[in-house]
Amino acid sequence: MTVKYYDTFSIASRFTGYISNITIGDFFNDLSYESCGSTAILGGLNSTARKEISQNNSSSSSSSGSDKNSSSSENSISQNTENHLKQENVVTNPNDLTAGTSSVSGKSGTENIGLAVFNKDKFCGELTAIESICHLLITNNLDSCIIAIDNPLSSDKKMELSIMPKKKSKINVDTKDNKIKISLKISLSANILTLEENVNYKDKETLEKISSKTEDYLKKEFEKYLNKISKEYNSDIDHFCTKALGHFSTNSEWEEFNWEEKFKNAEFNVDIDIDEISSLLLTKT
């Protein structure tokens, strides 16, 4: 079952964006780049397994409490694990989902959502589902995915869209004045999956509202993601440094620039362009 599950990674990663098909070879290849960061598949326990562990820990804690020969350290570890599981809130917002936090249940006991981030060989932290989507769009490793935005046509509701890259991402890196300035352009198309009653989806103004709302949403998510990997993790997992190498004539000039140190304060300019949006075959509801 596990082998079959991971055999689907190469397909699932390109059509969900929640995971990435990262091999051991890819991981160690990224480690060979001194100025770049690396990522790995992020795994965790699904809700079924978490409940089982919580129940087992509760039972073992009760029995160990009456066992005078149980060590205090073992009791402490068991109690800490139990408290962690009890206090954990299941994440319902897709933007905040990572492995081990969803409400997904299943016999396998495991789930894979998000990415693990490394700076060289040191673990930095985790990327959520939407942050993984941002990463895959920048690196051109995503064919399509589904996102949910605030519905511009109906307040207090969400609208789901399937987004697809129209072109490869455009990345420009400026290293003038001893600073890093990175400009990104992401070109997308979108299909509306959530349809409202009495709405004409051929109306230009309606489509412009949806397109504008989607662009604003994605721009904010990209900016949060880029600030996270630079300022919080200081890990260039998108390999922006490879775009900057052309500005330096020698290796010594590159080393003197000290990309890793300056990446913490990198400035980002993100342009999201959705030049085509449709409701598939339905135009009126």
Rounded to whole angstroms, the Cα distance separating 102 from 105 reads 9
d(CA 207, CA 283): 11
- Strand 267-278 with 181-192, pairing: parallel
Residue 160: beta bridge partners? 148
Residue 173 CB partners (closer than 8 Å, separation 6+): 180, 181, 182, 183, 240, 243, 244, 247
Q: pLDDT tens digit string along 216-253?
A: 999 999 999 999 999 999 999 999 999 999 999 999 99
Indicate the SS3 state at residue 183: strand
Its pTM stands at 0.79
| Parts of the chain with a pLDDT under 70 | 1-13, 15, 45-95, 97, 99-110, 280-285
CA distances from 159 to 149, 195, 226, 236 (A): 5, 8, 25, 32
Superfamily the domain 2-278 falls into:
Nutrient germinant receptor protein C, domain 3 (3.30.300.210)
